[in-house]
Structure 1
Amino acid sequence: MNTELINSIAKYVEQHIGEFHRNRIAKLQSVNLKELLSRKNPYLFKAKNIVIAGGMVESLASATMSSAEESIFGNWMEGVAMFVAEQVYAGYKSSAEGIDLEFDKEGVHYFVSVKSGPSWSNSTSMKKQKEQFAKARRVFNTSRKTVPTMCIEGCCYGNDNKGYNDSDHEKYCGEKFWTLISGEPTLFVDIIEPLGFKSKEKNEEYFVEYGRMINKFTQEFIQDYCNADGDIEWDKIVRLNAAIKAPKKTKKK
Structure 2
Amino acid sequence: MTPIDLTDVTKYVETHIGGFHQKRIASLDGLSLIKVLKRKNPYLFKAKYLLTSEEIVRGLVDAHISSNEETVFGDWLEGLAIFINEKVYGGRKSGINGIDLEFDKEGKRFIVNSKSGPNWGNASQIAKMKSDFKTAAKTLRTGNSGLQVVAVNGCCYGRNNSPDQGDYFKYCGQDFWDFISGDTNLYTELIEPLGYKAKEKNDEFQESYAKMINKFTLQFSLEYCDDNGAINWKKLVQFNSSTSSH
Q: RMSD across aligned C-alpha pairs, in angstroms?
A: 1.6
Q: Which residue of the partner structure matches residue 162 of structure 1?
A: 163
Look up the match of 2:31.
31
Q: Give the aligned partner of residue 225 of structure 1.
A: 224
| Percent identity of equivalent pairs | 45
Q: State the distance in 1 between where 2:195 and 2:155 align.
A: 20
Deviations 1:140-187 (A, max 9, x none): 112333332210001111112432233xx1111111110000000011
* Equivalent residue, structure 1, for 2:90: 90
SS in 1 for 2:104: strand
Moved over 3 A (4+): none
Corresponding position of 1:176: 175
C-alpha change, 1:84 and 1:245, in structure 2 (3 Å) is farther
Aligned to 2:54: 54
SS of the equivalent of 2:145 reads coil
Secondary structure, counterpart of 1:54 in structure 2: helix
Matches within 5 A, 1:1-253: 5-160=5-160, 161-166=162-167, 169-245=168-244
Secondary structure of the equivalent of 2:229?
A: coil
Q: Which runs of 5+ in 1 are unaligned?
A: 248-253
Alignment partners' CA distance in 2, 1:216 and 1:82: 40
Say if 1:124 and 1:245 are closer, same or farther in 2 by CA, change over 3 A.
Answer: farther
The gaps in structure 2 that reach 5 residues or longer are none
Counterpart Cα distance in 2 of 1:188 and 1:158: 11
SS at the partner of 2:110?
A: strand
Aligned residues: 244
Could you say what secondary structure the match of 2:5 adopts? helix
Scaled by the length of structure 2, the TM-score of the pair is 0.95
- The code of the aligned residue for 1:218 comes to T
Q: Could you tell me whether the CA contact under 8 Å between 2:178 and 2:187 is conserved in 1? A: yes
Distance, in Å, in 1 between the alignment partners of 2:45 and 2:30 is 23
